[in-house]
C-alpha cells in the first residue's frame, strides 16, 4: 500500500511539481494540498543524556530538595515562580513568557515504568515506545503516523516524517520512510543547480534499478526529497528580523525545522535531539554547565516559536529525556542517573500555564529506590495524547502496545 | 560510430550471458594461470575462491587495494590471516614514512601540553603559575595564544556589559553567563568561532600595535619567499596581531606556498603559531586516518578502531582530552588490540583518558579521609562557589559493566554499580591539566570490604580494583558480550547464536585472547556463508577509507576526509555517549547519509577535495598521442575500439575491476553507461566525430578522457554495491 501511494505521488502531483515549466505558485498549491487538512504538526525534541528535571522545573517548596542538593540547588529567590510550588531555572526564562501566554504546559515526574538507568537502554525504550521490550523494531512516532493512515486516507509527501541529522533516529524508524537531513543547504547531489546534474540522474537511475532493497528504497526517498527541496527552496525563508537562534547544532536544527515547515513540504512530524545533559560532575546551580545548556535550549525553542509566527498555532512541540537524575547531588558536584523527569509541551492548542502530573514528593521515603524522583505520569500518556490530538493517530494500542492508554484518562494538556 | 556500437552490443551480449560480476569473470580468466595455493574444500552455501578472498579483505581490512586480491591468492588466505594476527611480522615502512609528518603524535602527554599548550596551561602561564618558555618559537606560541585569549575575554566582557544594559530594560529574568575557557561536553558549535582579532591593547608582546595595518602584498610575498628556517623564524618573531594579520593577507596559493620546503616539525610550528590546540586534534584525526588507509597491518587497525569505539572516549569531554587521546590510542589500545582482553581492560581502567571521560578521577569514597577533609572545608566555607568532591560518582562503574564487560543484561544490579564505584575510588589522575599519569590516591579510597556480584572483595586498596577487573574480564557474560560485538563487526548485523557461542567458548578457554577468538570466527562456517557476502553496510569510516584505498589516492591533507566523516555523522573521536558508534546498517543508511556519500564519491573522484588527488586514467592512456604509430600506445583493453580514445564501456570495465571488489550489478552498470552516453552526446557536439579523433588536439582529448574517467569512478564509488562490504 505504502509503495503504491508513494508511487502515485511521484508520478502524479510531484511529477507536476517537478516540471520546470509550471509556475512556482502552482507547485506550492499542489504541495499544500498534499499536507494533512488540519495541518497539525508535531515536533519532538529528545534531550539525550538525561536532563536534570529537578533543576529545570524546581520544586522549591520541598525542604528536602535543598537538603539533598546543598551545592547545586536553585535558591528560592532565584527560581522563576510558576504556580507557587514550582519554579523555572533562571536560564529557562524565555519559557516563563510562553507559560504565561498559556502556550506552555509542564508535566513533572513523568518518565518510563522501566527502571533502567542505562542511557542506551532507556533511550531505546523511550524511542521504541515499549519500555522493557527489546524486540520492538520500529519507533513510536512512526507507528503513530501509520495509525493516522488508518483514519485519514490522504496523500502524504516524502517529507511527512523528518529528522534533523545524518541518521534516522529510533523514534522515527519503521515502515513509513523518514527523511534524515543535516543541512537544508547541502541536500543535493552533484551540485545545487536549478536542474539535476548528469551524475545525479545516473545515481537516480542506479538506485532506482537496484536489486538491493535497502539502498533501492532509501535511494528513491532521497531523490524524491532532493527534488522537492530544490523546488521548495527552503533557504528563502529567513528568520524574521530580531529572531536569533543560538549558533550551535541545536539552534541550527530548530532554525532549519522552521524553514522546512514554512516551505509547505508536507512535514507532519519533525524530530531533533540535543545533547550535553549527562551532568555527572560540576553541573553548577544558577550558573555553570547545566545553566549554559538550558539557556541555549530555551532560547532556541523560543526563537523557533517566534519564528513560526502565525503558523505556530498549528504546532505542538514536546520535549523528552531518557530519565531524570538522582535527587541528591553526588560526590562530585553533579548528579547520577535517576528516574522521573520533566516534559515540556508547547503549542497553539495546548492548555498551557499549568504544571501537570501528580507530585510524588521529595521526602526520603517518597523517593524511588530511596534515591530518585518517582514516576507518576507514564511518558506514553503524554505522547499518546499528543499524537491523537495532533496528527490524528487514534489506535493508541498500536502506537503504544501494552500501555493501555485511554482518551478519558488523558491529562487534557491539549 | 560503427566500432563503437559493436562494442556496446558485444558488451550487452556479455552482460546477458553472464549476469555475474566482472571481477568474477576476470578472475576466472586468471584462475587458469594462477591456482590458489590453498584450495577450500567444497561446502554447499559457502564462499569459495576469489569471492572468499574478497570477502575476507572486505571484512578484516578497510577495503581491498588494487593488487590485494593477487597477493592473498598467492599467499593463501589462511596464511594471510595468520600474519594479520601478528602485526609485528608485517613490513610497514611505507606507513612509517607517512606518519613522520606528525612528529607531535610521538610525544608524551606532558610534552604535548607543554609544547602545544591547552587553554588551562595558557591561563596558568598568563597568571604566572606556569612558566612561559623564554625564547624561540615556543615562546611565540604561548605569547600569541595568551594575547588572543585576553582579546576574547575583553570582547566577552564588552558583550556582557551590553547585554546587561539591554536586560535591565526588560522584565524577563536573566542571569550572567560564566565565561570560561573550558566547557564540559558542550554541544559542538556549528562553525568555529572566529578567534582572530586585530585589536589587542593588552597583549604582553611589547611591540604590538593597537591597530596594525594589513600586510601589503610585497611584504607577504617576501616572507613566503624566504628560505624555510628564516621563514619560520620570521613568523615566530612577529607580534601576534601582525601574525594574524599576515595570515589573513595570504591569498589561496600563498597558503600552500608558505609551507613549501618546511620539514614536518617546522610545519607544526607554523600551525601552532596559529593555534596550538588545533594542531593536537587535527593531527590526532589525521594520524588515525593515515593508519586506516595506509597500514599494511590492516587487522590491527580495524581492531584498534573497534576497541577505541568499545572503550569510547569523547574528544571534547574537556580541554585535555585530545592530548590524552594521543597516548590512549598509541600506548593503551593499539599495542593490545590483538592481545588479551583483560590486559586491554586493565590498561583502559588505568588510562587518564578513561578516568577523566567517565569521571572516575573525581569519585571519592564517602567515608574516605579525603571526603572527611572536604566536608570540614565545606562546613567552614559554606558559600564557596566550588566545593571539592566529597563522594561517589557512579559513571565509570556503570559503564564498566554495561558497556565494557558484562553487557546491559549481564546480571548486575544498581547495588553492584554502587559497590563497583566504591571499589574504584582513588583511581584518579595526577595533575590532569599538566598531562599527569594515572594515580591511585589512597586517601580517596573507600575503606572496608565491598561485595560485587555476590563476591566479597576484601579491603586492599588499588588491588581491589584489579581483582574486580579480573573478575569482570573472566565472566561468561563478558565472553558472550565481546564475542557478539565482534561477530556483529565482522560477520552480520544479527550474527548466528552458534557462532557467538563458539567464540565465547574460545574466549573462556584461552584467557580472553582476542586473536584466538578471531581465529575461531575466521574458521567458522558462518563467517563464509553466502548470506554474509556483501551483507554489511559500510560505516562512514569504512566507506571513506575503502574508497581511498581502492583508488590509491595520494593524500597531502587529511582534513577534507575528517570533515566528510563529521558530515556523515561519524566524526573521529566524536561519539559523545560512552556507547560509541553502532555497527549495524540501520544507523548508517538514510536519505541524508546517501546524499553525503554520493557527493563525497563525486567530489573525491573529480579531485575536488583539496590535498586529495587520485588518477583514474591509466598513465599510459593519459599520455597517448595521435595515431601515427610513433607515440606510445596503451596496451589496455580500453583502446580496443578506435585504437585510440578508450570508450566509456572499456573504461568502466577497467575502473570497475579496480575500484569495486566483486564488481557491480548489470542494472548499476547500465545506469552508469546510459547516463554516460547521454553525456557524451553533448560532448560530441563540440568535438569532431570519433572517426576523426586522430586529428583531435591530444591535450584536449586527454582532458576529456580524464573527466570521463573521474565521472565513472565517482558513480562507481557512489553505487549501492560500493556501500556494502
Quick check: is B24 in a domain? no
Domain contains B647:
yes
B588 in A contact zone (CB under 8 Å)? yes
The domain boundary residue, chosen from B272, B294, B316: B294
List of chain A residues whose C-beta atoms are within 8 Å of the C-beta of residue B718: 203
- Show which of residues 640-669 on chain B sit within 8 Å of chain A, judged by CB atoms: 665, 667-668
Domain that holds residue B276: 99-160+196-294
List the single residue in B175, B595, B719 with the smallest CB-CB distance to A90: B175
The residue with cell 556582557 is: B160
In a domain, B306, yes or no: no
pLDDT score, position B635:
37
How many angstroms away from the CA of A56 is the closest CA of chain B?
Answer: 15
Q: Which of residues 63-122 of B touch A (CB under 8 A)?
A: none
- CATH number for A41-194+230-409 (one of 2.60.40, 3.30.750, 3.10.450, 3.40.720): it is 3.40.720
Q: Which of A202, A281, A288 sits opposite B675 (nearest CB)?
A: A202
pLDDT tens track for A273-304: 999 999 999 999 999 999 999 999 999 999 99
In this complex, do A222 and B676 lie within 8 Å of one another by their Cβ atoms?
Answer: no
Q: What mean pLDDT comes out for the span A84-113?
A: 97
Q: How many domains does chain B have?
A: 2
pLDDT higher than 70, residue A237: yes
pLDDT tens, residue by residue, B598-625: 999 999 999 999 999 999 988 765 444 3
Q: Is B196 helix (H, G, I), strand (E, B) or coil?
A: coil
pLDDT, position A413: 96
Residue A67, C-alpha cell as written in the block = 537538603
Asked whether the beta carbons of residue A118 and residue B408 sit closer than 8 angstroms, the reply is yes
Q: In this structure, how many other beta carbons lie within 10 angstroms of the beta carbon of residue B620? A: 14
Last residue of a domain, one of B260, B294, B328: B294
Of A80, A168, A188, the CB nearest to B173: A80
- B392 contacts A331 by C-beta, under 8 angstroms: yes
In a domain, B488, yes or no: no
**Closest residue of A to B362, CA-based?**
A332
Counted residue by residue, chain A has a size of 414
Q: What is the mean pLDDT of residues A259-283?
A: 94
Residue ranges per structural domain of chain A: 41-194+230-409
In A, residues 129-148, which contact B (CB 8 Å cutoff)?
Answer: none
Q: Is A248 on the interface with B (CB under 8 A)?
A: yes
Question: Looking at CA atoms only, how far is residue A263 from chain B in angstroms?
Answer: 18
Domain end call among B268, B294, B320: B294
Q: What is residue B336's DSSP assignment?
A: G
B439: which strand partners? Answer: B428
Pairing between β-strand A104-111 and β-strand A377-378 as defined by DSSP bridges = parallel
Q: Percent of chain A, pLDDT > 70? A: 90
Residues 312-371 of A with CB under 8 A from B: 330-334, 336-337, 369
Nearest CA in chain A to B601: A190
Question: What separation in angstroms does the CA of A269 have from each of A45, A66, B211?
Answer: 11, 39, 52
In this structure, is residue B643 part of a structural domain? Answer: yes
Q: How confident is the model at residue A317 (pLDDT cuts 50, 70, 90)?
A: very high
Which residues in chain A touch residue B670, judged by CB atoms under 8 angstroms apart?
209
- Cβ–Cβ pairs < 8 A, chains A and B: 236
The sign of the dihedral angle between the CA atoms of B201, B207, B210, B216 is negative
Q: Identify all chain A residues contacting B189, using CB atoms and an 8 Å cutoff.
A: 247-249
Output A11 or A404, whichever has higher pLDDT. Answer: A404
Contact check, Cβ <8 Å, B590/A168? yes
Record: contact B577-A278, CB cut-off 8 A: yes
Question: Which of the residues in chain B have pLDDT under 50?
Answer: 1-38, 170-210, 622-643, 681-694
**Which cell numbers in the block locate residue B472?**
569482570
Would you call B590 an interface residue with chain A, using a CB distance cutoff of 8 Å?
A: yes
Q: Are A312 and B202 in contact (CB under 8 A)?
A: no
Which residues numbered 367-386 in B keep a CB inside 8 Å of some CB on A?
Answer: 371, 386
Rounded to whole angstroms, the Cα distance separating B243 from B274 reads 8
The answer to whether the CB atoms of B185 and A276 lie below 8 A apart is yes
CB within 8 Å of chain A, chain B residues 399-458: 402-403, 408, 414, 417
Listed in sequence order, the DSSP H helices in B494-590 are 497-509, 514-522, 540-551, 559-567
Nearest to A251 by CA among B80, B656, B189: B189
Residues of chain B contacting residue A97, judged by C-beta atoms under 8 Å apart:
172
In this prediction, residue A164 carries a pLDDT of: 95
Residue B273 lies in a domain: yes
In a domain, B167, yes or no: no
Amino acid at each position: 500500500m505504502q509503495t503504491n501511494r508513494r508511487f502515485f505521488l511521484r508520478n502524479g502531483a510531484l511529477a507536476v511539481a517537478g516540471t520546470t515549466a509550471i509556475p512556482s505558485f502552482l507547485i506550492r498549491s499542489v504541495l499544500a494540498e498534499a499536507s494533512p487538512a488540519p495541518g497539525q504538526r508535531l515536533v519532538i525534541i529528545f534531550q539525550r543524556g538525561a536532563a536534570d528535571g529537578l533543576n529545570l522545573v524546581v520544586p522549591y517548596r520541598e525542604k528536602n530538595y535543598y537538603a539533598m542538593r546543598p551545592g547545586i540547588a536553585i535558591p528560592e529567590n532565584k527560581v522563576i515562580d510558576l504556580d507557587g510550588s514550582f519554579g523555572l531555572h533562571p536560564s529557562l526564562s524565555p519559557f516563563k513568557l510562553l507559560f504565561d501566554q498559556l502556550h506552555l504546559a509542564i508535566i513533572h515526574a513523568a518518565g518510563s515504568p522501566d527502571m533502567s538507568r542505562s542511557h542506551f537502554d532507556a533511550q531505546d525504550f523511550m524511542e521504541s515506545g515499549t519500555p522493557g521490550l527489546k524486540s520492538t523494531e520500529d519507533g513510536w512516532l512512526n507507528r503513530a503516523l501509520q495509525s493516522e493512515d488508518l483514519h485519514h486516507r490522504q496523500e502524504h509527501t516524502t517529507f511527512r516524517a523528518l529528522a534533523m541529522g545524518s541518521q534516522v533516529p529510533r523514534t522515527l524508524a519503521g515502515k513509513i520512510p523518514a527523511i534524515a537531513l543535516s543541512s537544508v543547504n547541502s541536500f543535493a547531489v552533484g551540485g545545487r543547480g536549478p536542474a539535476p546534474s548528469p551524475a545525479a540522474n545516473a545515481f537516480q537511475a542506479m538506485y532506482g534499478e537496484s536489486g538491493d532493497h535497502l539502498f533501492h528504497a532509501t535511494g528513491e526517498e532521497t531523490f524524491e526529497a532532493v527534488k522537492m527541496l530544490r523546488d521548495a527552496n527552503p533557504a528563502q525563508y529567513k528568520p524574521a528580523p530580531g529572531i536569533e537562534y543560538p549558533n550551535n547544532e541545536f539552534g541550527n536544527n530548530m532554525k532549519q525545522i522552521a524553514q522546512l515547515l514554512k516551505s509547505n513540504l508536507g512535514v507532519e512530524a519533525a524530530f531533533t535531539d540535543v545533547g550535553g545533559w549527562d551532568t555527572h560532575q560540576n553541573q553548577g546551580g544558577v550558573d555553570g554547565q547545566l545553566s549554559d545548556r538550558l539557556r541555549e535550549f530555551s532560547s532556541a525553542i523560543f526563537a523557533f516559536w517566534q519564528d513560526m509566527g502565525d503558523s505556530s498555532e498549528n504546532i505542538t512541540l514536546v520535549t523528552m529525556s531518557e530519565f531524570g537524575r538522582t535527587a541528591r547531588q553526588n560526590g562530585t558536584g553533579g548528579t547520577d542517573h535517576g528516574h522521573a523527569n520533566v516534559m515540556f509541551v508547547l503549542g497553539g492548542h495546548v492548555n498551557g500555564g499549568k504544571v501537570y502530573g501528580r507530585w510524588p514528593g521529595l521526602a526520603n521515603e517518597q523517593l524511588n529506590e530511596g534515591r530518585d524522583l518517582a514516576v507518576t505520569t507514564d511518558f506514553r500518556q503524554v505522547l499518546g495524547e499528543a499524537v491523537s490530538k495532533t496528527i490524528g493517530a487514534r489506535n493508541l494500542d498500536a502506537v503504544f502496545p501494552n500501555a493501555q492508554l485511554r482518551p478519558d484518562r488523558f491529562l487534557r494538556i491539549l | 560510430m560503427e566500432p563503437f556500437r559493436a562494442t556496446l552490443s558485444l558488451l550487452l551480449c556479455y552482460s546477458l550471458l553472464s549476469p555475474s560480476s566482472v571481477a568474477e569473470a576476470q578472475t576466472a580468466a586468471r584462475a587458469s594461470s594462477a591456482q590458489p595455493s590453498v584450495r577450500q574444500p567444497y561446502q554447499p552455501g559457502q564462499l569459495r575462491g576469489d569471492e572468499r578472498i574478497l570477502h575476507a579483505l572486505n571484512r578484516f581490512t578497510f577495503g581491498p587495494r588494487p593488487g590485494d586480491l593477487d597477493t592473498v591468492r598467492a599467499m593463501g588466505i589462511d596464511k594471510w590471516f595468520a600474519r594479520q594476527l601478528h602485526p609485528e611480522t608485517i613490513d610497514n615502512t611505507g606507513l612509517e614514512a607517512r606518519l613522520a609528518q606528525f612528529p607531535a603524535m610521538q610525544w608524551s602527554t606532558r610534552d604535548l601540553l607543554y609544547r602545544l599548550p591547552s587553554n588551562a596551561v595558557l591561563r596558568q602561564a598568563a597568571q604566572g603559575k606556569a612558566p612561559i618558555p623564554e625564547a624561540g618559537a615556543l615562546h611565540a606560541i604561548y605569547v600569541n595564544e595568551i594575547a588572543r585569549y585576553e582579546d576574547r575575554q575583553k570582547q566577552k566582557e564588552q558583550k556582557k556589559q551590553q547585554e546587561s544594559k539591554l536586560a535591565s530594560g526588560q522584565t524577563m529574568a536573566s542571569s550572567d553567563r560564566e565565561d570560561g575557557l573550558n566547557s564540559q561536553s558542550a554541544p559542538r558549535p556549528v562553525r568555529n568561532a572566529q578567534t582572530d582579532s586585530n585589536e589587542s591593547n593588552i597583549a604582553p608582546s611589547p611591540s604590538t600595535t593597537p591597530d596594525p595595518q594589513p600586510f601589503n602584498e610585497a611584504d607577504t610575498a617576501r616572507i613566503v619567499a624566504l628560505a624555510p628556517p628564516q621563514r619560520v623564524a620570521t613568523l615566530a618573531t612577529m607580534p601576534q596581531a601582525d601574525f594574524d594579520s599576515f595570515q589573513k593577507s595570504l591569498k589561496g596559493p600563498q597558503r600552500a606556498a608558505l609551507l613549501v620546503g618546511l620539514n614536518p616539525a617546522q610545519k607544526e610550528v607554523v600551525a601552532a603559531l596559529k593555534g596550538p590546540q588545533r594542531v593536537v586534534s587535527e593531527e590526532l584525526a589525521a594520524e588515525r586516518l593515515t593508519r586506516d588507509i595506509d597500514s599494511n597491518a590492516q587487522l590491527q587497525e580495524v581492531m584498534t578502531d573497534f576497541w577505541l569505539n568499545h572503550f569510547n572516549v569523547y574528544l571534547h569531554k574537556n580541554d585535555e582530552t585530545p592530548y590524552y587521546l594521543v597516548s590512549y590510542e598509541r600506548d593503551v589500545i593499539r599495542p593490545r588490540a590483538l592481545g588479551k582482553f583483560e590486559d586491554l581492560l586493565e590498561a583502559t581502567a588505568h588510562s587518564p583518558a578513561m578516568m577523566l571521560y567517565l569521571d572516575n578521577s573525581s569519585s571519592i569514597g564517602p567515608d574516605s579521609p579525603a571526603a572527611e577533609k572536604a566536608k570540614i572545608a565545606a562546613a567552614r566555607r559554606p558559600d564557596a562557589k566550588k566545593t571539592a568532591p566529597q563522594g561517589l560518582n557512579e559513571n565509570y562503574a556503570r559503564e564498566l559493566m554495561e558497556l565494557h564487560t558484562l553487557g546491559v543484561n549481564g546480571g548486575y544490579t544498581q547495588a553492584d554499580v554502587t559497590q563497583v564505584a566504591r571499589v574504584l575510588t582513588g583511581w584518579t589522575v595526577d595533575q590532569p591539566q599538566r598531562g599527569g599519569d594515572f594515580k591511585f590516591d589512597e586517601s580517596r579510597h573507600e575503606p572496608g570490604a565491598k561485595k560485587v556480584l555476590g563476591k566479597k572483595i576484601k579491603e586492599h586498596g588499588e588491588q581491589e580494583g584489579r581483582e574486580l577487573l579480573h573478575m569482570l574480564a573472566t565472566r561468561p557474560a563478558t565472553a558472550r558480550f565481546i564475542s557478539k560485538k565482534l561477530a556483529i563487526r565482522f560477520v552480520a548485523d544479527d550474527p548466528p547464536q552458534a557462532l557467538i557461542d563458539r567464540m565465547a567458548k574460545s574466549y573462556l578457554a584461552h584467557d580472553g585472547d582476542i586473536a584466538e577468538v578471531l581465529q575461531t570466527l575466521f574458521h567458522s562456517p558462518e563467517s563464509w556463508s553466502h548470506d554474509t557476502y556483501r551483507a554489511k553496510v559500510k560505516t562512514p569510516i569504512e566507506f571513506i577509507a575503502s574508497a581511498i584505498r581502492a583508488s590509491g589516492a595520494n593524500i597531502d591533507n587529511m582534513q577534507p576526509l575528517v570533515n566528510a566523516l563529521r558530515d556523515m555523522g561519524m566524526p573521529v573521536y566524536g561519539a559523545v555517549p560512552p556507547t560509541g558508534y553502532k555497527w549495524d546498517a540501520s544507523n548508517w543508511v538514510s536519505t541524508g547519509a546517501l546524499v553525503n556519500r554520493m557527493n563525497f564519491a563525486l567530489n573525491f573522484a573529480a579531485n575536488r577535495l583539496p590535498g586529495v588527488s587520485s588518477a583514474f586514467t591509466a598513465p599510459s592512456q593519459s599520455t597517448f598521442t595521435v595515431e601515427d604509430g610513433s607515440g606510445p600506445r596503451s596496451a589496455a583493453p580500453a583502446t580496443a575500439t578506435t585504437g585510440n580514445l578508450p570508450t566509456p564501456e572499456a573504461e568502466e570495465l577497467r575502473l570497475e575491476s579496480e575500484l569495486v571488489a566483486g564488481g557491480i550489478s548489470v542494472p548499476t552498470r547500465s545506469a552508469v553507461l546510459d547516463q554516460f552516453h547521454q553525456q557524451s552526446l553533448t560532448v560530441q557536439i563540440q568535438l569532431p566525430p570519433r572517426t576523426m579523433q586522430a586529428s583531435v588536439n591530444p591535450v584536449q582529448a586527454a582532458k576529456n578522457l580524464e573527466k570521463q574517467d573521474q565521472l565513472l569512478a565517482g558513480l562507481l564509488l557512489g553505487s549501492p554495491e560500493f556501500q556494502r562490504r
